[in-house]
Structure 1
Amino acid sequence: MKDELLDAHRMGKLMLFVGAGVSANLGLPTWNALIAHIAEELGYDPKIFATYGTPLALAEFYKKQKGGLGPLRSWMDREWHKPTTNISMSDIHRLITQGNFSRIYTTNYDRWLEYAHDAFGVKYHKVASVADLASVIDGRRQIIKFHGDFDADDSIVLDETSYFQRLNFDTPLDIKLRNDVLGSSVLFIGYSLNDLNIRLLFYRLTEMWGRSTLASARPRSYIFTNRPNPVAQEILSHWGIQMIVSEEDDPEKALTEFLQELVT
């Protein structure tokens, strides 16, 4: 592991960005399961429905047909938070709570990061809206729900319209991200290198630094993966993001071992 990454973590200068891969280790439903549920609710054959558009477009269609995402959000909330899931048994979530991260950004809607902090006795402040920003307590870890939260339907970035609005990067949470990222390195975990949304975020981060008078002093950022990808590695390096690749094939074991080395 790079000394710069270890130093940034030790000094509290490392922000964590948590993606769907972290929640997937808990056995949460996949995008395919979500689209199949949408199809069944709307009376379509799931296999045929899946060919009608991207997941974002299909969610947009559901929203238009149902007049909102409320019923779908309620189903997701139930399916994503099964009472049989014991978050205290997740080594990945335990290690995240133990890390020296003043801010944890996540594009996940679920509450498992919050539940993990509750289970392991780590105080935090959840930020999902402007109102949340007004009540942040100095010195307490922040969990920023960058793509929304199940507690508020209108905050969730799931359909095509909300996704396109998210890409504008001009909301209060985006302004907060710009401020936060200028003083810290960023570590991305649980993301696919082929995820267009996260690649756009990488680009936006580079843009943010490029407009800063401190561009030459930009801290290095990192993405952890257990899948070598020389194309992504070359492109991301130009954006100031270094890939850390594990030789472990199992993604859950790879991330667990990486976090163990980072935080202990």
Structure 2
Amino acid sequence: MEKLMEAYRQKRLILFVGSGVSANIGLPPWRQLIEEIALQLDYDPDVFDTYGNFLSLAEYYRIRKGNIGPLRSWMDREWHKDIDIRDSEIHRLIVHGRFPAIYTTNYDRWLENAHDAYQVDYVKIANASDLAKARDGVRQIVKFHGDFDDDASLVMDETSYYERLQFETPLDIKLRADTLSKAVLFIGYSLSDTNIRLLFHKLSKIWRKHETLGVRPISYVFTHKPNPVQEEILSQWGIRMLYSEDDDEPGLALKNFLKALVEG
């Protein structure tokens, strides 16, 4: 924990934010999104759910509709109402943290909205053209799986997901450069998420190539409870697992962890 705190104090800690952070403010689970896809395609949701995982069902939606525009519009509308982001202690702590960059695989706008609410300047980066907007000393919010303002940037169906797995987009190149000089803290992720595990694996290969130069960073993933199996696997990838000793509830555990990091 001391090395994590040192990286944080030196502004050398990048935050990587997953869906668990958005779930904490009441955003619907993926199951509800699958139900909406089914309804828009005139399927019974319970039956449709048996036809594949979310990525393949979203791929089918794109084929049938021609694009994901209607689904993105529904998500944007439903995910951004009846929430006062200032009620989220987790978002407040993220905004006021000493993180030079925040990467997120979430599509929603709540990280940006939280920065707006607390009047903290930032630059949003969702595609290659956004990279030119980066300014020294201004936090970057990198929408790693795309942004609702740009349908083409969204990693939502099988095709876009498989393209992301190649790890060769401008945002991937930026991430590789950032993580060679800074540590990374992952929060709000399920360790069973294949996408994030592939990211861990890809980053570990990059770090290993540079290990002889002494620049391999130590990175971290926070979870609300211990998992010795995953801890061992992540350790071989250069990622240390941090977990709560006292709080079994994920949202409370994450809030207390961030509080200790940011305000401790």
Q: How does the TM-score come out when normalised to structure 2?
A: 0.97
Classify the secondary structure of the residue corresponding to 1:114: helix
Residue 112 of structure 1: aligned partner: 110
Q: Report the AA paired with residue 59 of structure 1.
A: A
Task: Please tell me whether the aligned partners of residues 127 and 143 of structure 1 are also in contact (alpha carbons under 8 angstroms).
Answer: yes
Task: Please tell me whether the aligned partners of residues 180 and 215 of structure 2 are also in contact (alpha carbons under 8 angstroms).
Answer: no
Q: Tell me, in whole angstroms, the C-alpha distance in 2 between the residues paired with 1:214 and 1:19.
A: 31
Deviations 1:126-174 (A, max 9, x none): 0011111012111100000000000011110010000000000000001
Classify the secondary structure of the residue corresponding to 1:228: coil
User: Are residues 128 and 199 of structure 1, via their aligned partners in 2, closer, same or farther at CA, if it must alter by over 3 Å?
Assistant: same
| CA RMSD of superposed structures (Å) | 0.9
Q: Which runs of no fewer than 5 residues in structure 2 stay unpaired?
A: none
Classify the secondary structure of the residue corresponding to 1:95: helix
Q: Tell me, in whole angstroms, the C-alpha distance in 2 between the residues paired with 1:49 and 1:81.
A: 26
Deviations 1:67-87 (A, max 9, x none): 0000000000011101x1000
Residue 198 of structure 2: aligned partner: 200
Residues 1:140 and 2:121 aligned together:
no
Q: Tell me, in whole angstroms, the C-alpha distance in 2 between the residues paired with 1:94 and 1:213.
A: 35
Task: Please tell me whether the aligned partners of residues 181 and 215 of structure 2 are also in contact (alpha carbons under 8 angstroms).
Answer: no
Task: Please tell me whether the aligned partners of residues 209 and 215 of structure 1 are also in contact (alpha carbons under 8 angstroms).
Answer: no
Runs of 4+ in 1 over 6 A off after TM superposition: none
Residue 44 of structure 2: aligned partner: 45
**Counterpart mapping for 1:115-264 below 5 A:** 115-212=113-210, 214=212, 216-247=214-245, 248-264=247-263
Deviation at 1:207, TM superposition (A): 1.1
Identity, in percent, stands at 60
Deviation at 1:214, TM superposition (A): 4.8
Pairs aligned (count): 262
Residues 1:20 and 2:19 aligned together:
yes
Deviation at 1:50, TM superposition (A): 0.4
Q: How does the TM-score come out when normalised to structure 1?
A: 0.97
